[in-house]
Structure 1
Amino acid sequence: MLQTGKTDSQRVEFGKRIRKLRRDKGWTLAQVAQLSGLAVSTISKAERGIIALTYDRLAQLANGLGADMAAFFDARGTRFEDGAFAVARKAEFSRQETNNHVYEMLFPELRQKAMIPVMGTLKAHDILDFEEFVRHPGQEFLVVLEGAVTVHLEGRDPVVLQQGDSIYFDSSRGHLYASSGETDARILVVCAGQR
């Protein structure tokens, strides 16, 4: 787990990238709020590094800004071209930490990927620690690398996944992941159908 000071500085740098993308377009916070569906206060707090956005809110913000989500994780970037390939070595990722998750965005330097691969840690929490279901366009794949995970899908009974188990679902359905035990769980998630 990261020390708080390092997490805070990463969140501030993340916020600076969001602010730069907005200012490069010449847009106000209110304009981005209207385009993304997020509250002005949410965007402002994210830009100042006060809060970290969850994946669904990052997707909303990227859509509103007309930006590739990877640009939030890495200011540099090149388009992924046909016939290209990329290798990510262990610990080569950009990190974003929320109260419930640690996101490790793989290949943040590549723009316009057909899939968004994210490694992560689900902090050991009770489902009550989550405010609401997450939903975003596309499809989602999750595999449990370590520990056990309970996947809550809106309108369905929870599904418990053990190490090596996986699930594939329509991510526009409300969903939550939570560590099933008293320890953190490691996962790999791949989202497709949005950039």
Structure 2
Amino acid sequence: MRKNDLIPTGASIPKAHPAEDIGRNLKALRQARGMSLTASAARCSVSAATLSRIENGLLSPTYDVISKICEGFEIGIRDLIGYGDRVALSGWTSATRAGAGRIVETPHYRFELLCDEILAKPFLVFRADILCRSMAEFGALQSHAGQEQIVVQSGRVEVWIEQYKPRLLDAGDSLAFDSRLGHAVISVGGDTPARVLWICDSQEVR
């Protein structure tokens, strides 16, 4: 599925350079805290070379790497994605028109963030296209702090979770799990990636 497939007729196209956006935000965050690449690498358990490549838009980080960076800097994922342009309010509401959410793509998933401009809410919700079709393509299971739940919107997925047998989920099925267990979601069958609604709790997005 192409990025433009997420955009309905007449809708505005979301920003389509996630690697550059995250890299620019990471560099701004690091410099605002007066930290070198070496110090940041030690704090995030990610190599300085990897951080440098991300900052320069040469590497699209996996969700696992994004999570490590956020944990190291003690920020939420949405803070890294939109560093410097978020709003914190009380008594808030937030809306995202169909297909108009901010797009963030990793090697495993293409995320469309929903209602993500408000810092006040203690959770993160996004639609995700599941890009990998095998565990050989996905690689190692990922783990991080928090809890999450997926609801399959279209297609079929196979969910791998450490200590459990793989589960096949079809449209309408849902699964919740402890994010600290290694996990992966892959598409099964079909010509286009499966799509899920993904919810992460406050431990994950802080």
Common topology (TM > 0.5): yes
Q: Which moved more, 1:134-143 or 1:11-20?
A: 11-20
Matches within 5 A, 1:103-114: 103-114=111-122
Q: Offset of 1:76 from its aligned partner?
A: 0.4
1-structure distance, mates of 2:89, 2:137? 37
Relative to its length, the structure with more strand (as a share) is 1
Question: Is 1:148 aligned to 2:156, yes or no?
Answer: yes
C-alpha displacement at 1:87, in angstroms?
1.6
Match of 1:20 in 2: 28
Aligned to 2:188: 180
Whether 1:117 aligns to 2:125 is yes
- 2:160 equivalent to 1:160: no
TM-score by length of 1: 0.90
| Offset of residue 7 of structure 1 | 8.9
TM-score scaled by structure 2? 0.85
Contact 1:68 1:111 in 2 (8 A): no
Gaps of at least 5 residues in structure 1 are none
**Change beyond 3 A, Cα 1:76–1:22:** same
1:189 pairs with one of 172, 187, 198? 198
2:133 partner amino acid: H
Residue 55 of structure 2: aligned partner: 47
Q: What is the CA distance between 1:100 and its match in structure 2? A: 2.3
* C-alpha displacement of 1:65: 1.7
1:95 to 95, 103, 110: 103
The offset of 1:112, in angstroms, is 4.7
- % of aligned pairs identical? 27
Deviation per CA, 1:126-167: give whole Å up to 9, x if none. Answer: 221022111111111000000001000112110000000000
1:67 is matched by which residue type in structure 2?
I
Question: What secondary structure, in the 3-state scheme, does the structure 2 residue paired with 1:152 have?
Answer: strand
Measured in 2, the distance between the counterparts of 1:97 and 1:30 equals: 26
Tell me how far 1:105 sits from its aligned partner: 1.9
The structure 1 segments of at least 4 consecutive aligned residues displaced by more than 6 Å after TM superposition are none
Q: CA deviation at 1:71?
A: 2.4
Q: Which residue of 2 aligns with 1:61?
A: 69
Give the Cα separation in 2 of the matches to 1:10 and 1:117: 17
How many aligned residue pairs are there? 192
Consecutive unaligned residues in structure 2, runs of 5 or more: 5-13
User: CA, structure 1 residues 111+8, in 2 after alignment: closer, same or farther (shift >3 Å)?
Assistant: closer
Give 1:113 shift. 3.0
